[in-house]
């Protein structure tokens, strides 16, 4: 990555927008700055106050869209009350939208067009492919069907000619479906949702969930959707939380950032 940045035709730069004082977003922005610095990407953080209104956020996005030295834009969530994330995401110039959250980029995935794909979906599929599993014809069950995570993962796997089952909170007999999965991806945001008895022996299991819980010891910690200790002995491959899809998502953001500058 650092070599691609150094050898690129133009300086690679990522402009991030952070409105308000959310602690999680602050930590994410701090880590982004460090990771960008490590590979030579210029990082600019634009802060807006917590009471910024929709016009202020839209105005900043429009300025960044119009600035030719800005090659990549991302918007930290949550946005202030009254500022709808989808409206702001739709406004980001689709060639600078390195999180792939503009509906135009999400739609392009269906057609297999060259576009910026949502980072978490890319990260999940990269992790599946890294196991060497041949996706064509395999049965993949995706738990969770949000526009930014679950649905793009399902479409990417469909493009790889897998047999894909998309499930959501209303799905009947979830366990009956997950037990048939060669590849199981959970992106529901429900800690402990996927238990050992729901996993086919040898399956590739990707845990996308990031959930903050209070453990039995009273301490706060981060867990995924998968009951790691139960599932690890039955799955063929299991991605951990923390440490799996999360860091890979950051890597995909950087890859999209370099791709956007190249174009």
Is residue 35 at the binding interface for ligand NAD, with CB under 6 A as the rule?
no
- x/- mask, ligand NAD, residues 214-253, rule CB under 6 A, reads -------------------------------xx--x----
- Sole window of 69-77, 86-94, 127-135, 188-196 interacting with ligand NAD (rule: CB under 6 A): 188-196
Is residue 101 at the binding interface for ligand NAD, with CB under 6 A as the rule?
no
Q: Which is nearer to ligand NAD, 28 or 95 (CB)?
A: 28
Is residue 31 at the binding interface for ligand NAD, with CB under 6 A as the rule?
no
Pairing of strands 211-214, 220-223: antiparallel
Is residue 149 at the binding interface for ligand NAD, with CB under 6 A as the rule?
yes
Is residue 154 at the binding interface for ligand NAD, with CB under 6 A as the rule?
no
DSSP H helices in the chain: 2-7, 23-39, 54-66, 85-91, 103-111, 119-130, 150-159, 174-178, 228-231, 245-262
Is residue 152 at the binding interface for ligand NAD, with CB under 6 A as the rule?
no
Is residue 155 at the binding interface for ligand NAD, with CB under 6 A as the rule?
no
The Cβ of residue 172 has, within 10 Å, a number of other Cβ atoms equal to 7
Beta bridge partners of 15: 44, 73
Query: Which residue from 160, 151, 213, 212 is spatially nearest to 185, judged by alpha carbons?
Result: 151
- Sole window of 5-13, 65-73, 96-104, 167-175 interacting with ligand NAD (rule: CB under 6 A): 167-175
Pairing of strands 204-207, 183-186: parallel
Compute the CA torsion angle 21, 26, 29, 33 (nearest 10 deg): 120
Q: Which residue has the tokens 């010891």?
A: 217
Residue ranges in contact with ligand NAD by CB under 6 A: 120, 143-146, 148-150, 167-169, 171, 174, 187-190, 193, 208-211, 245-246, 249
């Amino acid at each position: 990555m650092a070599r691609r940045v150094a050898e690129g035709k133009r300086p690679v730069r990522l402009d991030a927008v952070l409105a308000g004082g959310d602690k999680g977003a602050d930590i994410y922005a701090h880590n982004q700055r460090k990771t960008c610095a490590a590979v030579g990407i210029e990082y600019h953080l634009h802060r807006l106050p917590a009471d910024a209104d929709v016009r202020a956020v839209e105005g900043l996005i429009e300025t960044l869209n119009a600035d030719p030295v800005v090659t990549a834009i991302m918007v930290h969530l949550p946005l202030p009350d009254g500022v709808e994330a989808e409206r702001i995401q739709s406004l980001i110039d689709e060639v600078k939208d390195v999180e792939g959250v503009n509906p135009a980029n999400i739609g392009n995935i269906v057609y297999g067009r060259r576009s910026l794909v949502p980072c978490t979906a890319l990260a999940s599929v990269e992790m599946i492919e890294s196991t060497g599993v041949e996706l064509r014809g395999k049965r993949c069950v995706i738990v969770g069907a949000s526009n930014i995570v679950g649905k793009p993962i399902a479409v990417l796997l469909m493009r790889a000619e897998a047999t894909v089952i998309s499930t959501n909170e209303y799905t009947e007999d979830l366990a009956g479906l997950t037990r048939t999965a060669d590849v199981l991806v959970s992106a529901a945001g429900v800690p402990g949702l996927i238990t050992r008895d729901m996993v086919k022996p040898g399956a590739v299991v990707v845990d996308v969930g990031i959930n903050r819980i209070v453990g039995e010891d009273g301490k706060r910690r981060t867990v995924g959707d998968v009951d790691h200790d139960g599932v690890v002995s039955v799955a063929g491959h299991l991605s951990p939380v923390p440490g799996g899809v999360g860091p890979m998502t950051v890597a995909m953001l950087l890859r999209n950032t370099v791709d956007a500058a190249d174009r």
